[in-house]
Amino acid sequence: MSYEIVKSIKVDKKNKKVYVTGASNNVTPRWFNRWENEYLGEILQKQGYDAVVKEILYAYYEGNFQPGGRNDYSLSLALLDRGVFNWDRQHKKEVTKEEVIEELYKNYMILKSEPKGKFIVYFEDHDSYIYKFTARRVFSTSYRESAKIFRRKSDAEIRLRNYSHVKYRIEQI
């Protein structure tokens, strides 16, 4: 099954158009192009901004859009409670499409209202700062100047979700 690897989505409220920058997963080499998404543009024209945001969020949930970069849509998906809303549909209770959309939209609005800034993570046990994340490992440094900078506090919390056994502190710089 194919999907779009999405780097960015621009919702133009003034001209009532939606632009997606992405590439198909089953075409190599990957060429990221920007195009007008007519389906989402039609939703924007007929139902408004909130409806198109909800449709984008649900496309991420369904797997039709995959993150090619970090944006508010993919971050709101990362904030979902995996015990209730699980992608493999192994739910503890049956959830409807509307419940999923409302939970994703709530997460999106929380992210949008959160102030942006510069945040770093300090590991108290190791007396060091995070400077790099990979798929399986976190690298640290003793130099504060080399620490990885996060745009939001929630970005750091999402990345550190799997490291609950380590004492850390998120600092604003």
Q: Which of 113, 139, 155 is the last residue of a domain?
A: 113
- The sign of the dihedral angle between the CA atoms of 113, 117, 156, 171 is negative
- 40 and 107 co-located in one domain: yes
- 81 and 47 co-located in one domain: yes
Q: pTM of this prediction?
A: 0.76
**C-alpha to C-alpha distances, 101 to 2, 70, 93, 130, nearest whole angstrom:** 22, 20, 16, 33
| More confident position, 33 or 114 | 33
- 89 and 127 co-located in one domain: no
Residue 161, pLDDT score: 75
- 88 and 134 co-located in one domain: no
- 76 and 143 co-located in one domain: no
- 13 and 82 co-located in one domain: yes
- 17 and 89 co-located in one domain: yes
How far apart are alpha carbons 73 and 107 in whole angstroms?
9
- 24 and 87 co-located in one domain: yes
How far apart are alpha carbons 68 and 82 in whole angstroms?
21
Question: Is residue 43 over pLDDT 90?
Answer: yes
Boundaries of domain holding 26: 4-113
- 82 and 18 co-located in one domain: yes
- 132 and 108 co-located in one domain: no
Residue 93, pLDDT score: 65
Question: Is residue 68 over pLDDT 90?
Answer: no
Into how many domains does the chain fold? 2
| More confident position, 1 or 123 | 123
Q: Which of 97, 113, 129 is the last residue of a domain?
A: 113
